[in-house]
Amino acid sequence: MNQNGDDLVAVREDERGLESVRAQSVENEKSGAALYRSERYQWPVQAQTVDAAAMAYADLMVETGHERDGTMTTWQYRARLEHKEASACDDDVESGVPLLVYRHAQASVAVEASAARTIPVQAHAFARESFIDELAHALQRDPVALRLQHLDAQRDGGARETIRMVTERAAWGGALAAQVEPTSPWVRGRGFAFDGEALEHSAPLSSDEKSSLPVRVTAGTPNPSADSWTAWVVDVDVNRETGDVAIRRVVAGRGSGEPGAARVSGLPSWQVTDAIERSTGVRFLARSAHDETGSANGDAAVSHELSVTGRALNESTAGTARTLTSAEADTIERAAAPAAAAIANALFDATGVRFRAPPFDAERIRRALADAPSATLAAAPAQTRRPSRWRRWLAGGGVGGVMGGLIGLACSVLPGPAPIAPIASVDTSLWSPATLERGRQIAAAGDCAVCHTAPGGKTNAGGFALDTPFGTVYSTNLTPDAQTGIGTWSYEAFARAMREGVSRDGSHLYPAFPYTAFARMSESDMMALYAYLMSQAPVKNAPPKTNLPFPLNQRRLVAGWNWLFHDTRAFVPDETRSAQWNRGKYLVDGAGHCGACHTPRNAIGAEKGGFAYLSGGSAEGWDAPSLVASRASPVPWSEAALFDYLRTGFSAEHGVAAGPMAPVVAGLATLPESDVRAMAHYVASLSPPVDAEVSARAAAAHAIATDAGSTTTLGFENGRRIFEASCAVCHAESGGVGHFGVRPLMGLNTSVAQASPDNLLHVLQHGIDQPATESLGYMPGFGDVFDDKQMAELASYIRARYAPGQPAWRDLESASARLRAGH
């Protein structure tokens, strides 16, 4: 019992009482030395009354004295039950005592003993994290930076690293993607909250000091548990008219380890779902986000997307009901502790109205917004809209094409994008190893090094020649060299180039650089890619200048092309599809930019839409086959075959990756397996379902039939002799050897069945000297051995024997000469 007769359980680590701390804070504010702030929050609890359990509220009071930079020198926290009728408790209760998370010169925490077992850990985290967010906004400070200011770089290394890794994953500080119309009542906001085990803020009190206190003291000690810290970032949309809240995204992770060796593990989707429901009264379905690297099932995801229950289909709810041990339940309860505060902080960020007690239901929010001054409410974000139907019509041709040309001419006359000022340097130590690894994976998925590395040149130093119908475009230097690379580029400049195709100096980039696909990338992926590229070794190399013929050398004309064809909106997941499907589509359409090669283009170089999507294109003189029910494939592609091909570069039912596809597979081989499976799953969904076992049996039967020599090859004797002397040792069913790597069967090879002979002639001339993976083995080229006539005879024989149902290729000798000349 304290002097006022209240039962208290207290955590105290200063040498002053509560009143003396508060008095000193007020005195400091009067003298200008410090400021004082006090806020009250509430949390609904089930309170045991004399008659029965009744709903009550816990009063949570936070008072601080702080410097003008936000440094909280004193911290006072009191928690009690509102309208307490009875106080039946003992002095040994410790389970409900809130733990100190941040460091202060003087701190005092007091909780009524009667409330210690009633008030959950989420309530204490809600009050603390809401208060710090309020203080940050009042001082115009970043809320995350203010928290880090109160965590010691050495003693709190693990906690700081957890905050850093989660906020980097959420792209904290980046602009929120605008997906609402400018006139819409919906507004968007983001909130952060953190919680953790006790930290050792000061030296333990002596036994004499403890005995002199009016209440029992529990000194905070570090918890070595692997899940000691949890951070949440929540993105919300709020309807200012109805008060409805849509939780769009949750990035939440539990941290362990120290800087340089730390990791963040994800939270189960069902745990995120339950935590959000307790705070909002609405049940959202959480699942792995489309940009969650290496996770498609949501069970261990750091980033989750949410939709209202019932709108998302094809999602497994397994695991939502499970039996937990008390230790597991306690861990999960603490991991979800920051949820309510993160939502409240996001609501404030969106609306300018502070909600001091959950639940955040629509009616409460609507009333609060209706009562708030109009100047308080945040304005709706701007929206970059998709080209309208008439803009797309202008791109079609005829009169529209003429008008499009006039638009392009106007764009070349009007003022262009402004340059973005260069930066002196980038401190790469600010990024966590997890972010850099994520950036590496994105670079691998996007094949950055494939196009930005010249033959024999340094990686990403530029100079690779891209032959286009409009002339040769040379790739730029992506290394952080200050003179010849992107070393002076800020993230803002980098993101603008990736999404809008505008260089740092304001000049337009040619669409040979697939910014039309990269615009789909999320903010967190874009930041991770920037971090990775800026952390690589700089290479001083000035690539050749791109010099297209007039008028294409007028880069301002690209503004008109962008106006007609470029949609800058980020990827939006389809809630009716699975997380794996959305992940696959995001990779295929975004970083992977598969359509850049596998979608045909119109007369001025834009990818065609509609049924032309992924229906086949070209790349570097090779035919990129259709990814949608390709007729060129002797056997339909199953999802399993697609995965094998993308992961290893070889499918026993289809052949080996060669040409421009080989380095693509080499990059995909370094990605998490689940990402490659997601890509295969999405691509397979674009065609009629294929049973893998049926497809395999059909492939085997087809291979035997075409290799049996039953097809007519009269008139191809020269080609037959060349094949048997040079090819049969590896590619004939009866004579192949197994120690040269894989042995693709010609009867199943897509390049043999394609309408164009170019891919087969490329392989015959140049072989495969750089296989996608070493396990595939190498194939020698015969360009120096056979002339164009012999090449034509060999290709004719292969076509006649192994694709008997396809028409014969014409003018093979001319085609061989054309490819040999590099055209």
Q: Are 252 and 266 in contact (CB under 8 A)?
A: yes
In this prediction, residue 713 carries a pLDDT of: 64
Residues written for the chain:
823
Query: Residue 450 has which token pair?
Result: 């494939």
d(CA 607, CA 519): 15
In this predicted structure, what is the pLDDT of residue 223? Answer: 39
Instruction: State the DSSP H helix or E strand holding residue 695, giving kind and residue range, or none if neither.
Output: helix 692-707
pLDDT at 299: 52
CB 536 within 8 A of CB 460: yes
Same fold, 418-553 and 579-820: yes
The CATH number of 418-553 is which of 1.10.3210, 3.10.20, 1.10.760, 1.10.3280?
A: 1.10.760
Q: Give residue-wise pLDDT tens across range 527-546.
A: 999 999 999 999 999 999 99
178 CB burial (10 A radius; 0-12, 13-18, 19+): middle
| Contact in structure between 633 and 749 (CB atoms under 8 Å) | no
Residues 591, 290: contact at Cβ < 8 Å?
no
Q: List CB contacts of 807: < 8 A, sequence separation 6 or more.
A: none
Instruction: Read off the tokens for 165.
Output: 């890794």
**Architecture of the domain spanning 8-371:** 2-Layer Sandwich (3.30)
CA distance 71 to 604: 58
- How confident is the model at residue 516, as a pLDDT? 96
Q: What is the DSSP string of 155-184?
A: TTHHHHHHHHHHHHHTTTTSPPPP-S-TT-
* pLDDT < 50 stretches in the chain: 1-18, 21, 50, 52, 85-96, 179, 198-227, 296-298, 310-321, 378-403, 406, 735-739
Nearest by Cα to 160 from 171, 151, 173: 151
- pLDDT confidence of residue 2: 35
- Residue 744's Cβ-side half-sphere holds a number of Cα atoms within 13 Å equal to 24
The span from the CA of 151 to the CA of 228, in Å, is 14
State the amino acid at position 341 in one-letter form: A
For residue 336, give the nearest of 421, 407, 278, 263 by alpha carbon.
Answer: 278
Instruction: Give yes or no for a contact between 217 and 188, defined as CB atoms under 8 angstroms apart.
Output: no
Q: Rounded to the nearest 10 degrees, how much is the dihedral formed by the CA atoms of 738, 739, 741, 744?
A: -20
pLDDT of residue 734: 53
Q: Which residue's structure tokens are 């029910």?
A: 629
Record the tokens describing residue 683, joined without a space. 């691509």
Tokens of 530: 């920037």
CATH class for the region spanning 579-820: mainly alpha
User: Distance between CA 444 and CA 550 in Å, rounded?
Assistant: 35
Name the β-bridge partners of 809: none
For the chain, give me the number of helices (H) and strands (E)? Answer: 30, 17
Q: What single-letter amino acid sits at 636?
A: P
pLDDT at 791 (0 to 100) = 94
Domain ranges of the chain: 8-371, 418-553, 579-820
* Contact in structure between 200 and 220 (CB atoms under 8 Å): yes
Contact present, 306 and 249 (Cβ < 8 Å): yes
For 645, the token pair is 């091909």
